């Protein structure tokens, strides 16, 4: 069990999670806004 490499990939996963989460939230917001715009029009 090479702990180093496992932890290395865990670190990369954590590092990538945050921007991924932000991007996910952005897309969700944009989609909701677009839907409300479509409702209006």
Q: Could you list the residues that contact other proteins (CB under 8 A)?
A: 2-5, 7-8, 10-12, 14-15, 17-19, 21-22, 26, 29, 32-33, 36-37, 40
Cα–Cα distance, 3 to 33 (Å, whole number):
45
**3-class DSSP assignment, residue 2:** coil
Shortest Å, Cβ 6 to other proteins: 9
Q: How many residues does the chain have?
A: 41
Shortest Å, Cβ 15 to other proteins: 6
Shortest Å, Cβ 13 to other proteins: 9
């Amino acid at each position: 069990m090479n702990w180093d490499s496992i932890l290395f990939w865990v670190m990369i996963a954590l590092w990538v999670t945050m921007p991924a989460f932000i991007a996910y939230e952005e897309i969700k917001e944009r989609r909701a806004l677009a839907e409300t715009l479509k409702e209006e029009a």
